[in-house]
Amino acid sequence: MRGCRVMIMLLLSSILLSGCWDRTEINDLAIVLATGVDYKDGQAQLTAQIFIPRKGSGGSESGGAGESASGVTMTRTAEGVNIAEALNRLQRKVARHMFWGQCEVIVISEEAGKQGLREFVDFFLRYPQFREHAYIFSSKDSAKDILALLDPLERSSSESLREMANMNLGTRVTLLELSQSIQGASGSAILTRILIAPPEPNDGPNATTPSLKGLSLYKHGRYSLTVKEPVSLGVLLMINELNNIIMPVTLEGEKGAFSILSKQITTMLKPSIVNGEWMMKVRIVASGEVVLNTTDANLTDPSKVMALKKAWEKRLKEAADQALHMSQKEQKTDFYRFADSFRKHYPQEWKAKKEQWETMYPELQVVVSVKTSITGNGRSTGPQGIPEQSAN
C-alpha cells in the first residue's frame, strides 16, 4: 500500500502548512462594495464603500426596532499622487484586509474624468482583485459623497446603482467595455451620470438615493461634456441603449398627444464606402405600445395608427439627428463608435484613412432611417373619459 502511505504523508505534511500561506477568513476581510475616484488639489482620491458585517447581523433579534436595511456600510477615503498610492494609503486606514473582489460599482467623478480615464482603467484592470464587469458610472458631485449615501431602500448605495444599471436606465458600461471603448478606434466613451437626489426634509443628509440623470461623454479618454435630455435620448438611441422609455408623440391635426412606451428599439450601423465616398447608414427599428392618449383620436382606426407610426418615426429621427449634430458639428467627436464599424467592415480602407478620421468624421454623410410599429394600444381602445359619440 505504497500509494496509501504516500497519500497519508501528503495529507500530514499539508497540515503543517495550515495557518500560514494565503488563508484569509471572511472575518478578516473588509469587503468593498463600491469604489469612488475623485481628483482634488492635484491628487487622486480613492474612496471605498466597506460593508460592516456587525451592523446587519441578527435581523431577527432587533426585529422591529426601526432599524432599516441601511446603515451597513461605511466609507473611507485616501489621497495619493496616483490611484495606486491612494489605494496603498487607504489600507492603512482600515483594520482589515481590503477586499476588492466584490466591488461591483466604480464611480468616477467628472473632475477625475478630466484627468483622463486611462490611469484608472489601467489600474483597475491590472490590480488583481477588481472585477472586469464592475459597472462604471460618472458623477457630477464627488464620488465620495455618492458612496456615503445610505439608501433607505437598498442595503447600500452600491446596490442601488447596480440595480439601476441592470434595469438599463442608462448606458450600463462595465470596466472591460469602458477600456475597450477608449482603446477603440474612436477613443470615446459614454457613461451614465449620477446625481444625489435631494433627501426628504425629515431624513438625514445621507438618507437618500443616487439618481441617474444625463450622460457624460468622454473624448480620447478625457471628460468632455455632459448631455441631458432631450439630446441624451438621441445619444442612447445611437448607441443602441435606449430602453424603457415613454416618449410623447403629437399627431398633426389633433389636440393633445400620445405617449408611447417603447418595447424594443434596435439601432444598427451599416457603413458603406462607394467610390471612395464614405457613408454611414443608421437603421432604427422600434416597436412600442400606446400608454396615454389625450387626443380624441380612436386607435381602432388603422389610418390613425399609421399616422401615429409616422409621427413616432419622425420623433425618433429627430432625436437621432440631434445627437448626430451634437457629435459631428459641435463636438467633432465620434461618440457612437462609427470608426469601429468602418474598421470592422472595411479593414483595408480604414487602415489607409485612419489618420484622417478626425477630420473626416464631422463631414461624414449619415443617413438615418427609422421603422416603427405600434404593437398595441394599451388596455383601452378608444380615448377614455369622453362620451362615446364624440369620439371619432
Partner 1 sequence: MNTASEAEQETQLTRRLAENGQVLRGVFAGCEDVVFHSFQTIHRTSALCVYCTGLCNTERLEQQLLAPLEQTGLAVEPAVEGSAEVPVASIHQIRTVGQAVTAILDGEAVLLLDGQASGKGYPLYKVPTRTPEEPAAESTVRGARDGFTEALATNQSLLRMRLKTPALKLHSNTIGEYSHTKVTLVYVEGIIQPGLVTEVNKRLSRLNIKDVLESQYIEQGIIDQPFSPFPQMIATERPDVVVSNLLEGRFALLIDGTPFSLIAPVNMFSMLQSPEDYYENIYMSIFVRWLRYIFYALSLLLPSAYVAITTFHQEMIPTVLLLSIARAREEIPFPALVEALIMEIAFEALREAGVRLPKQIGSAVSIVGALIIGQAATTAGIVSAPMIIIVAITGIASFMVPRYSASIATRLLRFPMMILAGTMGLIGVMLGIILVVIHLSSLRSFGRPYLSPAAPTFSKGLKDVLWISQPRSK
Angle, vertex CA 215, rays to CA 211 and CA 218, nearest 5: 135
263 interacts with partner 1 by CB under 8 A: no
**Does 1 contact partner 1 by CB under 8 A?**
yes
Window contacting partner 1 (CB under 8 A); options: 46-54, 210-218, 284-292, 298-306: 46-54
Give me the 266-295 binding string for partner 1, x by CB under 8 A, dash otherwise: ------------------------------
159 vs 340, beta carbon nearer partner 1: 159
**Residue 80's beta-bridge partner residues?**
44
Cell of 89: 494609503
Of residues 51-90, those binding partner 1 (CB under 8 A): 51, 53-54, 56-57
Closer to partner 1 by Cβ: residue 103 or 236:
103
Q: How far apart are CA 213 and CA 233, in angstroms?
A: 11
d(CA 240, CA 282): 11
Min CB(51)–partner 1 separation in Å: 6
Which residues have C-beta within 8 Å of that of residue 270, sequence separation ≥ 6? 280, 281, 282, 283, 341
Measure the CA–CA gap between 81 and 64, rounded to whole angstroms: 47
d(CA 45, CA 190): 22
Measure the CA–CA gap between 241 and 169, rounded to whole angstroms: 9
Beta carbon of residue 128, minimum distance to partner 1 (angstroms, whole number)? 10
Piece in contact with partner 1 (CB under 8 A), picked from 22-30, 218-226, 345-353, 374-382: 22-30
Q: Which 3 state secondary structure label does DSSP give 143?
A: helix
State yes or no: residue 174 binds partner 1 (CB under 8 A): no
What DSSP element (H or E) covers 4? helix 2-17
* Contact status: 95 vs partner 1 (CB under 8 A): no
Cell, residue 114: 478630466
Instruction: Kindly state the smallest distance separating residue 57's Cβ from partner 1, in Å.
Output: 5
Q: Of 95-103, 111-119, 296-304, 310-318, which segment contacts partner 1 by CB under 8 A?
A: 95-103
Quick one: how far is CA 110 from the chain centroid? 14
Per-residue interface string for the shown chain with partner 1, residues 300-329, x marking contact by CB under 8 A: ------------------------------
Residue 2 in the binding site for partner 1 (CB under 8 A): no
The closest of 323, 334, 340, 335 to 364, measured between CA atoms, is 334
Binder among 68, 88, 93, 101 for partner 1 (CB under 8 A) = 101
C-alpha radius of gyration, the chain, whole number: 26
The answer to whether the beta carbons of residues 288 and 259 sit under 8 Å apart is: no
Choice between 22 and 388, CB closer to partner 1: 22
User: From the list 68, 88, 129, 375, which residue makes contact with partner 1 (rule: CB under 8 A)?
Assistant: 129
Q: Given the rule CB under 8 A, which residues bind partner 1?
A: 1, 3-4, 7, 11, 14-15, 17-18, 21-27, 29, 31, 33, 51, 53-54, 56-57, 99, 101-102, 104, 129, 131, 155
